[in-house]
Structures are given as C-alpha cells and as structure tokens.
Amino acid sequence: MFCKVSLLTVALGLLASASPTGRFYEPITVPSELSGDISRGHGSIPTMPPPVLSTAPPDSVKPTSTVVPTSSAFSKIPFNPGTKTSSLTQPELGPGPVRIPIKKRIDLSMLNDTLTFDRLLDMTARTINKHRKNLMVIDNKVGLTNYRHGAHIPSSATAPVATPVPTQTSGAVPTSTQQGVELLDEDEYLLWRGTITIGTPPQTFMMDFDTGSADLFVASTSCSGCEGQDTYNPEDSSTSAQQSGTFEEAYGGGDDTSGATGEVYTDVVNIAGVNVTAQYFGVVAQESGSLSELPVDGLVGMAWPALSVLNQNPFFWTAIAQNAVPEGVFGFYLAGNDSELFLGGTDSSRYTGSIEYHPLVSDVGYWQIGGASISISGQSVASDFETVIDSGTSLIYGPPDVVAQVYQGIEGASQFEEGYYSFSCDSSPVVSFSWGGNDFQMSADSFNAGELEEGTCMGAIIGVDMGMGDNVWLVGDAFLVNVYSAFNVDNTSVGFATLA
C-alpha cells in the first residue's frame, strides 16, 4: 500500500546554534482566499475548505471528538539548543523521550545482490509521484509561484515493471514495558517500517515513517485493493469518531490511475508509548495502481502541517500539543542494524559533538534548509542550493545539469542513461555535503546505489527534475545513513551530527 518512496503519494502524499550561513527567506505571501495563520511559518496551515465535500456522517457514527489544538500549544514545549536526552524510561501515557529501535534496511549497494535498472527507475517513479502530489497541495494552498522560482507540477511517472505484494509480517505491539517499536527492513522497497496502534482496544499496524509526507493513513476493513494488509475497524474502537469530509487522492496522470479514497476519523494513536488522543487520519476505502503494491498498512507522515491533505496536525504535532513528548524534536539514526527513530529529543549516545542546526527556508511544509554545497574529494562542485530532507526517499535527486557536474569530478564515471550515472565499483568517490558548517561525507557504500553488472555500479545521486524549483535538491537516505539527523519543530530547523 503506502511506501516511503511513494506514499503520499497517497496523502499527497526526519551544540551549535543555527549555522551563521543559514538564512530565512521572506515569508510566503498567501492568496487572500487562502489566508490563515501561518505564524511561525510552519506550525499552522492556511484556512482551507474540507479535503473533499461530503455529507455528514451517518447516525451510527460515534460523536465527533474534540479537535486537537494547533500551533498555539507549541510554546508550552521549551527548546534548549543542543540538548541531548539520555533518559529512555517513559510511562505509557506520560511525557518523555522514546527510542524506537529499527533494523538497518538493506544497503543501497546490495539490492538482491545486484541492482536492475528497472528497479532504480521504479524507485524514482514513486518518488516523483509522491512529490508531484505534494506540489499539487502546495499549489492549491499558496501557489507554486509563491514557493520557489521554477517550481512546477511534473508529469506523472510510470514504473517500468509491476511489483508483486510481498508477504507482510506484523511487528510487536508497543507496551508500557517495551519502549520501542521495531522498524523492519524491506529488501524490495527500501522503506523504514514499524508498528503503531490505533484505537481502544489497540489495533496494530505496520507503518512507514516519512518526513516527506504529513498525514497518517491506514487501510480500512472494507478497503478494495488493500489485500494482504492489516485494516482498521472503527466499530471495534470505543474512542473512534468519524469526522465530516472524505478524501480522494489521485496522483497519477494519463494511463496512471493510482490513487486512494476514504473517510476521515479521529482516534487514540500510540507509538512506543507516545500516546495521543483525537488524532486525525485517513481511513482508506479504496486504493489502486502502485499504491496497492507496497508492504505496509499505511503511513505516518512527519512533515509540517502545511503539507497535510487533511488540513490537520500530523501525529508528532499532536503529541507536542498534548504534552506527550518533552521536546518538539525527533531524531533518526539510520546507520546500523540497531538504527532507531527517537521521539521527544535526540539520543546523545548515537552522535559525537553537537548537532549543527540550520533554519528552515520554506513555509510550505517541507523540512527544507538552504546554504547547501556538495564537493567531490574536497573540491566544491555546487553551492548555495536548498535541500528537502526526506526520510521517505531512498536516493538523492538534484537538477540534471548540476548532477552532471558532480559526476565529472568522479574518475571513470559516465552517463548510463539520462540523469543516471555509473562508475567503477572498485573506486570510492569522496562525496560530501555541507550547509556552511561541517562537511558530512557519504560512505562509499551509501554512494553506491547498486551493481548493475560486474564491475559497474550506479551512483546514488540522480539528475531528475522533481519540480521543486531551479535550485532545490531532494536528499534521502543515501545521505541520511551517514549522519544523525534531528528534526526540530520547536526551533523550525533541521540538524546533523557526526555519528558516534
């Protein structure tokens, strides 16, 4: 169903102070008909009509739950730059940081031992379609001309091969004594997935955690096209409440009819002891196309509320508003078999030194930071560009002409196909990203997207126009596995630190 490299796709659709080279752009001008509270830039969303018009819920539906407060509650959570949380003990319903252990997914260099080019095209197509839907949301809310110069809605991409639905195995249910939810690796899909519970009593689901999407979606018991997935039954939850409105998402175009439709509910949601009430989420009644091919039950979006199709707070923002976490910060450690997602702070055992934070430069919902540069063997290739940091994307995507310059600096590299470059598997290119502070180097393994044929490997940096603007890169797991990444809601910033 949903995947980190595609899902919302369904809904659309991761101690120094901020670097002095970071900068904020002028606030986005919201058209008068969409005017609303976007103070703090990202904590709120413009006033919008319901996702899709619908009639009121049937009489049999339980009374509507109270709407969770929005960004006005964020100030209750203090921000201390560089604070490193070490305490891992938390009662199920009390505030406190939570470590969610995750198994390292398959290396990009070892996709079934070799990488077929069709597999790479499939991953790219899913990524394009996911952010195509995001850009449609941005265009609807503020207009792409108010986002970035050159931003546009790209044509939908079609995967070259159909992918079978693999057997799904549910993970363990979080309890008060088990503070983590294991996120399992998926060889075919390169996504981070783990269990959450919804409802009273809890119903368990295997979900994808994605900083490039903002909504929570799960399959319903009546879902058509959701075969093989665990499904949500609102009638089995005493805390479930159907909300007005339905959603209808179609991100494809032309012959691509991929999409999802369903109803909107609120209920109790628990992730490793972080328990929130009245969380808004979409319950999918029908899905089609590539959305139905993915080995998860749904998506936990961790982008900003402005990117929400449902026009509601994502799970982590609800947790902040309800004081379910001590800090509005979460961190990803994706560099080993004991990888983890940390909610409510950062895990100081996973990194050395301080976290280098950089302020967000966009109000549209992305974790987007500026002042970036890329170098090859210490030689700068491109600088002063912006980056969208997305745990839901496996590779790295940049403007085709700039990516071509990157590979010109790598000995023996050549264009395999437009936007895709190969190099000798025996070489170890030294590729680094910087945001005006430290240079964060990619390991040879993380830069290697896989072996196409004996001795020839594919680079993990792809030249594809994602529609985000002339000077915007999409940075995914190929980079994130090399750093500890912190996503700071309280201080509207993204930070990186050197791995311990």
In angstroms, the Cα distances linking 75 to 152, 166, 320 are 35, 44, 9
List 209's β-bridge partners, or say none: 300
Instruction: Return the ∠ at Cα 348 (arms to 16 and 372), rounded to 5°.
Output: 40
User: Rounded to whole angstroms, how far apart are CA atoms 190 and 295?
Assistant: 11
> CB atoms < 10 A from the CB of 62, how many?
17
Catalytic residue among 210, 215, 347, 490: 210
Nearest to 349 by CA among 361, 365, 333: 333
439 is catalytic: no
User: Rounded to whole angstroms, how far apart are CA atoms 59 and 63?
Assistant: 9
User: Rounded to whole angstroms, how far apart are CA atoms 216 and 231?
Assistant: 14
357: tokens are: 């934070």
Catalytic residue among 139, 297, 390, 477: 390
Q: Give the CA-trace dihedral at 146, 152, 153, 154, to 10 degrees.
A: -160
Nearest to 494 by CA among 483, 75, 29, 478: 483
Q: What is the DSSP letter of 163?
A: -
41: tokens are: 């830039």
Task: Kindly report whether the peptide bond that precedes residue 160 is cis, defined as omega within 30 degrees of 0.
Answer: no
388: tokens are: 């969208």
210 is catalytic: yes
User: Rounded to whole angstroms, how far apart are CA atoms 466 and 398?
Assistant: 8
Helix (H/G/I), strand (E/B), else coil: 115: coil
What single-letter amino acid sits at 289?
G
> CB atoms < 10 A from the CB of 94, how many?
14
- Tracing tokens 């900003």 back to the chain, one arrives at 304
The per-residue DSSP string of 195-250 comes to EEEETTTTEEEEEEEETT---EEEEEEEEET-TTS--B-GGG-TT-EEEEEEEEEE
Taking the CA of residue 36 as centre, how many other CA atoms within 13 Å lie in the half-sphere pointing to its CB? 18
**Where in the sequence numbering do the catalytic residues fall?**
210, 390
